[in-house]
Structure 1
């Protein structure tokens, strides 16, 4: 083991510097400064190189984190990138948006006494350095195959599968109903967490590698699932989940109450230089407004921090549990607090007030009780505890459910679970339709980008085996 490692006893944890909150409130640029090479090497050297790397165990992609930390500490950055890219299609994206405090860093063995290794920041540093030096290559196979695959959805799951299948030589066609590649990475995640050029450069690179994108193409409207099954040897559905969860409450239909994804999409499209009617009219613009965001996940944090940057006069996050029970990244909560967001813990909406438009959210205090079957504490309202939060714009960030794909695709034989997600054989990731696979959020429900990448890569392997077996069977039948 290199003598550069195990430096956690000598070196304190240090994240890359953050821009001051007063400055970052004024723009949508990423908030963290770049790691200096010496700082990245020093922080990597804090790794304990433990025999059972819990950081790797708790990474959905099983990234070889101790290996590329050691290589970074030794200044072998090109090798570090190769190791990182071997298991992760988008390490530069995961380094920026993964909730490391809940995954790799949160399970680092030195976390309790010394502070975890800054894994996410080092991952970002390695990959950004790789891009700068031209080490990131387009997915060009050694040999071309005649078989083709169709992938529905150009989000992280679909793109991860596309890259893996292209590397094997398949003719890969990706279909997406939107006008850009990236899915929620483009339209759902704000620039201050993930600048869009980071995603768009992968799109350009994948096209250079021979992956063909068919944009503004909606399955069920412009082409049928049956058409794709006839055209391709295998099809992957990786559409994600976009249907906003709603709630029943008096006043829920008032103008000024908007779904989180609609709000974030409008902001991101404006940031990409588009003329967005909702921004111009003010319906999706928080400027000069009192904003209340309802929810406690990462999407809620994206909304409150976007509203701050749009110039809201006040931004409040209303969440029915306490801070310790928030499902979102605690790091994002701290960033939001620094930027002036007010959190109303243990509060749940019961009505929306107003005549022509929303003017306030009536909420009531909640009490945390005993854990339920999932281990989370149940919540119950406290009688007589209602209070009003003034609001000109209310953003509903209650999570996402799957769309009705059998109806949208006009394919009633496509099976779904009782939650509306696609039903698959989890050993093969294939649906009941032969040759039609599914991966990502449309199977597991709304989840993390890193899980979508894992599912996409796994689906690519099972699709490859399916096509091999199908090709072999056709060859035997032809003899």
Structure 2
């Protein structure tokens, strides 16, 4: 073990410098500065190199975190990058947007009393340095294979699958209905968490490595699902889930009540330089408005922090549980509070107020009752505690559901689960249709980017095994 490690007893945890709230809420740039080299080395050296690395165990892609922390602490940064990217196709993205406080850092064995290692910030530093030094290279397969794979969806799951399959020499074609590669990485996540040139840089690398992208491509219009199956030897579905969960309350039909993804997409498109009518006419623009965001997950945090940057008059987040039970990242909650967001804990909407346009939200106080079958305490209304909250723009950040899968793909044979997601084998990712695989949110429901990457990597391995078997069968016949 290196003598440079185990410094958590003498070195305090430190994140990269964070721009002040007054400055950062004026723009959409990332809020954390880059780690200086000496600080990255110092923070990496805090790792205890424990015998059972729970940080790795609780990382969905099983990153070899202690190894690349040790290498970073010892100045062997190119080797640290090689180990980091060996298990993760998008390490520079995960370093920015993963909720490390709920995953690797939250599982660090030195967390109690000494605070965890700043794993995410070091991961970002390693990969950003690798890009800067030219260590990140396009795929160069040892040999080209004639078999082709069609990947439907250019989000993180699809990109991970495409990357892995291209490394093995398969001809990979990625189809996406948007005009840019990245899916929710581009249109759903604000730039203050993930600047878009980071995603565009990765997309160019995949294209330079031989992945072919077909953008503005709609299944059923540009080609049917059956035609894509005929065109390719295997298919990977990685479309994600985009249908916003709704809330049935009096006044739900008023103008000014919008789904979170519509709001975030408009903001991101505007930031990318697109003409966005809904933004220009104020429908999806928080400027000068009293904004109420309903929900407590990471999407809600993206909405409240976006509204602040758009110049909202006030921003309130309505959540029916307390801070401790909030599903979103606590780090994001802290950032939002610093920027001026007011959290209304233990409060739920009862109705939307107004004639044609929303003017307020009638909310009711809640208390946490007994736990349900999942172990979470159930929110219970406190009778007589209703109050009105002024609101010109209400944003519903209640999660996402899949669309009607058989109708979406015009394929009745594609079986769905009881939750409406595609029914795929949890190990092989194979669906009910031969040679068709599915990964990410379209299988597991709305989840984390890093889980989609893990699914994409697993599916690529299964696709390879399937194609090899198919090739052997063809040669034997």
The CA deviation string for residues 345-376 of structure 1, in whole angstroms up to 9 with x for no partner, is: 01111100000200000011111011111111
1:386 deviation in Å? Answer: 0.4
- What pairs up with 1:130-141 in 2 under 5 angstroms? 130-141=130-141
Counterpart position of 2:109: 109
TM-score w.r.t. the length of structure 2 is: 0.99
In 2, the alpha carbon distance for the partners of 1:271 and 1:92 equals 21
The CA deviation string for residues 159-217 of structure 1, in whole angstroms up to 9 with x for no partner, is: 00000000000000000011000000000000000000000001111110010000011
In 2, the alpha carbon distance for the partners of 1:216 and 1:361 equals 38
The alignment partner of 1:172 has SS state of strand
- What pairs up with 1:66-77 in 2 under 5 angstroms? 66-77=66-77
In 1, the alpha carbon distance for the partners of 2:75 and 2:370 equals 51
- What pairs up with 1:65-464 in 2 under 5 angstroms? 65-464=65-464
Counterpart position of 1:4: 4
The CA deviation string for residues 239-297 of structure 1, in whole angstroms up to 9 with x for no partner, is: 00000000110000100000000000000000000110011000000000000000000
Gaps of at least 5 residues in structure 2 are: none
Counterpart position of 1:36: 36
The CA deviation string for residues 313-353 of structure 1, in whole angstroms up to 9 with x for no partner, is: 10000000000000000000000000000000011111000
1:221 deviation in Å? Answer: 2.1
In 2, the alpha carbon distance for the partners of 1:411 and 1:191 equals 36
In 1, the alpha carbon distance for the partners of 2:119 and 2:367 equals 36
Structure 1 stretches (4+) deviating beyond 4 angstroms?
none
The alignment partner of 1:378 has SS state of strand
In 1, the alpha carbon distance for the partners of 2:140 and 2:285 equals 43
The alignment partner of 1:375 has SS state of coil
The CA deviation string for residues 434-462 of structure 1, in whole angstroms up to 9 with x for no partner, is: 00000000000000000000000000000
- Please identify, of 400-409 and 32-41, the stretch whose mean Cα deviation from structure 2 is larger: 400-409
Gaps of at least 5 residues in structure 1 are: none
In 2, the alpha carbon distance for the partners of 1:220 and 1:406 equals 12
1:413 deviation in Å? Answer: 1.1
1:95 deviation in Å? Answer: 0.3
TM-score w.r.t. the length of structure 1 is: 0.99
In 2, the alpha carbon distance for the partners of 1:247 and 1:8 equals 47
Root-mean-square deviation (CA, aligned residues, Å) is 0.6
In 1, the alpha carbon distance for the partners of 2:135 and 2:376 equals 45
